[in-house]
Homo-oligomer: A and B are copies of this chain.
Amino acid sequence: MVPEDHPYGVHNLPFGVFSDGSGPPRAGVAVGEEVLDLAPLLGDDPFRAETLNPFLARGRPFWDETRRRLQDLLTGTAQAEAVRPHLFPREAVRLHLPFEVADFADFYSSLEHATRAGRILRPGEEPLKPNWRHLPVGYHGRAGTVIVSGTPVRRPYGQLKPPDAAPELAPTRRLDLEAEIGYVVGTPSIPGARVTVDDFHDHVFGLVLLIDWSARDIQAWEAAPLGPFLAKSFATTISPWVVPLDALGDAWVPSPPRDPAPLPYLTGAADRGLDLRLEVEIGGTVVSRPPYRSMYWTPAQQLAHLTVNGARLRTGDLYGSGTVSGDADGTQGSLLELTVNGARPMRLDDGSELGFLRDGDAVVLRGHAPGPGGRTVGLGEARAVIEPATA
């Protein structure tokens, strides 16, 4: 029914929310070039909702059962007639924000990114703060401005402080992106109870691609001493298809060596990396291919850290990996790094020079991972066009 080697083949089955013009938004699964309407096929209430949250809240046993049912329906020849009426061409549907975001936290877990950013932003100082190798540094972002791929991003105004001049309110001149992975929590936790590294698969349903838009000049002025605030809160873009952890069984890799050894609460069998391969395209030119597999802190560690103080998880919680950056040139996940804070502009294929993002730039973050039997697991894409600021 679906070509075996399609990145959205039956080995993937990512979940999203779609509408087809004749009916409200509802849950669907991407199957090849089509979207499968889940509620009429499976008859379960959670799929009638306008967000995936009711499905996510059902937890691991229901996720597993749903996946088994879908794989049976999509691979058995006898069921093809039952399935076909519920397939919509993907290009004909509209995709919505797949889940209502409860809390959004964002980490800072690439050693290469943190080191390079530290060197650029605090030259002459030790690039990593003393805590960096001991815990996954993170902060809370704004859940209400997480938007779905395809939504334009308007260049934000903010307070800027030019060197040797008074602060002013102006559109950011240093609009950047950070290429990240976002983890989607389904099963809530009990307030006060710690979620361990090895509880990761019980709570996290899957992942999305995430663009953490960042206004570097607003950030530079506002962030002392409480961290980034309005420099990040205007928009965060996620891909429309939540790829289940179950599709990524072949993508796990050992976590990288760490020195010093993490404290025991940051250890466990689920402390593993994922071989996710990203690609950042700006204005039609691929500017970077960040490798996720070498991230210093893994998603299971981030979840354990997030809850070590007893903070509860809610269905719809989203946490970002932090900028994914590799060691080599052409693998940096932000323009801050790629252009050394704008000082060394890149040449795009159309001949133009890029320091930070320009009005009209189309930004695309794509990703894929190795799947079973040499197949590819598509992570889809998160994209946005930069619109000019309006007062």
A residues near B, CB below 8 A? 102-103, 105, 108, 129-131, 134-135, 137-145, 154, 156-159, 161, 166-169, 191-192, 194, 215, 218, 221-230, 233-234, 260, 263-265, 305-306, 308-314, 317, 390
Contact = CB atoms under 8 A, between A and B. Distances in A.
A224 B226 CA distance: 9
Contacts of A311: 142, 144-145, 230, 233-234
B310 A157 contact: yes
A192 B225 contact: no
A140 B142 contact: yes
Contacts of A138: 226, 229
A122 to B, nearest CB: 8
Nearest to A188: B144
A103 B143 contact: yes
Contact of A144 (B102, B192, B265): B102
24 contacts: A102-B144, A103-B144, A130-B224, A131-B221, A131-B222, A135-B159, A135-B222, A138-B226, A138-B229, A139-B226, A140-B141, A140-B229, A143-B143, A145-B311, A157-B194, A157-B310, A158-B309, A167-B263, A223-B227, A226-B227, A227-B227, A233-B309, A233-B311, A234-B309
Given A154-B192, A169-B265, A139 B308 contact: no
Contacts of A265: 169
A44 to B, nearest CB: 24
Contacts of A230: 305-306, 308-309, 311
A76 to B, nearest CB: 41
Contacts of A222: 131, 135, 137
Given A102-B143, A144-B312, A158-B308, 12 more contacts: A108-B226, A131-B222, A135-B167, A139-B139, A145-B191, A145-B311, A157-B308, A157-B310, A192-B390, A230-B308, A230-B309, A233-B311
Contacts of A166: 260
A170 B193 CA distance: 15
